[in-house]
Every structure is written in structure tokens, then in C-alpha cells.
């Protein structure tokens, strides 16, 4: 029987974990975590795109939808260090993303806020595109 030394085993484990990290799809909607109501007819959906288990918090993706006409991807974030917050004020929606350690968010050094008008979002009519 062939014996594997510790160095070869360690290199194999590192290679496999790097390989699987590269296969993460932040826009995946397979593992729904929760949905919460932002305003009258607007919902924020959170999906786990990579569960780290005992090694740390999950990598999540957040979407904004009215469940009838549009759905937009807001971004990915580390569940323990980052976050994407959605706030509704009158006819506008404000999305704030906190910085975290994810590679896709490396350019974010301070919280970033984007504003959307509800009429612009509803005119997207892209619900079935995802």
C-alpha cells in the first residue's frame, strides 16, 4: 500500500480548499436563509453562497425584489464582519454596504451607500432573468 507523507497531504488539502474557494457563485440563490420586508411591497432576500461551518461566518449574497416585477443583486458579504443594509424612505431605497474581508469587496474601505428610486426599480421588469 502506498504511503502519503504529511507534506504531500498538506499541499493537497491547500489545493482543494483554494479550488473550492474559486468556485463560489455570489449570485447563487440555492440556499435561502431569510427574507425581510423593507417597505410596503419591497423585500430583501439573503442567500448563503458559501457556508464555512466551524471555520467562520458564511459568505452571503443579498437581493432586493418586489416579487412581481424586478430582482437586483445587491452584493456579497461576510456574515460576521460585513453586511448590506436596506432602508426605505418615501420613494427611494438606500443600500449601505459595510467593508469586510471578502476578495470581491477589497475596494470598500468605509461604508458605501447607493440610492435607487422605486419607479426605476419597477421599470426593470427583470424578475425572470435570474
Domain boundaries, the chain: 26-129
List the grid coordinates of 77.
458579504
User: Any residues with CB less than 8 A from the CB of 119 and at least 6 apart, and which?
Assistant: 91
pTM over 0.75: no
CA nearest to 59, candidates 28, 36, 92:
28
pLDDT digit string, tens, across residues 20-79: 444 565 555 667 888 999 988 899 999 888 776 656 667 888 999 998 899 999 988 888
β-strand partners of 75? 62
Amino acid at each position: 500500500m502506498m504511503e502519503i507523507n504529511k507534506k504531500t497531504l498538506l499541499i493537497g488539502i491547500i489545493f482543494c480548499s483554494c479550488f473550492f474557494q474559486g468556485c463560489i457563485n455570489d449570485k447563487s440563490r440555492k440556499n435561502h436563509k431569510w427574507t425581510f420586508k423593507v417597505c410596503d411591497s419591497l423585500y430583501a432576500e439573503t442567500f448563503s453562497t458559501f457556508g464555512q461551518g466551524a471555520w467562520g461566518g458564511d459568505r452571503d449574497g443579498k437581493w432586493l425584489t418586489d416579487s412581481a416585477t424586478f430582482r437586483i443583486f445587491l452584493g456579497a458579504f461576510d456574515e460576521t464582519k460585513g453586511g448590506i443594509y436596506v432602508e426605505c424612505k418615501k420613494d427611494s431605497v438606500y443600500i449601505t454596504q459595510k467593508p469586510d474581508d471578502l476578495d470581491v469587496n477589497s475596494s470598500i474601505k468605509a461604508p458605501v451607500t447607493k440610492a435607487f428610486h422605486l419607479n426605476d426599480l419597477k421599470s426593470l421588469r427583470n424578475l425572470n432573468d435570474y
